[in-house]
Amino acid sequence: MATSPPLATGPGTPLQVTGNLGRVRQVVRLGHPVLRQRAEEVPAVRFGTRKLRDLAFDLVRTMHAASGVGLAAPQIAVPWRVFAYYVPADYGEEIPPRVLVNPVLTPLGTEQQEDWEGCLSVPGLRGLVPRFTQLAVEAYSVDGERVTFHAAGFHARVLQHEQDHLDGIVFLERMRSLQSLAFEAEWEQYASGKQP
Ligand SMILES: [Zn+2]
How do residues 2-16 score in pLDDT, each as one tens digit?
Answer: 753 333 333 346 788
Å from CA of 118 to ligand 1 middle: 7
Å from CA of 123 to ligand 1 middle: 9
How do residues 71-107 score in pLDDT, each as one tens digit?
Answer: 999 999 999 999 999 999 998 889 999 999 999 999 9
pLDDT along the chain (196 residues), means of 10: 46 69 95 98 96 96 96 98 96 92 98 97 97 98 95 97 98 97 93 66
Å from CA of 158 to ligand 1 middle: 9
* Residues that place a CB less than 5 A from ion ligand 1: 119
Å from CA of 161 to ligand 1 middle: 6
CATH number of 33-190: 3.90.45.10
Å from CA of 55 to ligand 1 middle: 17
| Annotation marks residue 138 as catalytic | no
Model pTM score: 0.91
* Structural domain spans, the chain: 33-190
Catalytic residue among 40, 117, 162, 184: 162
Q: DSSP states of the chain as a string?
A: -B--PPP------TTB--SSSS-PPPPP-TT-GGGGSPPBPPPGGGTT-HHHHHHHHHHHHHHHHTTBSEEEGGGGT--BSEEEEEE-GGGSS-EEEEEEEEEEEEESSS-EEEEEEEETTEEEEEEEEEEESEEEEEEE-TT--EEEEEEEHHHHHHHHHHHHHHTT--HHHH-S-GGG-EEHHHHHHHTTTS--
Judge contact between 140 and 96, C-beta under 8 A.
Answer: no
Å from CA of 117 to ligand 1 middle: 9
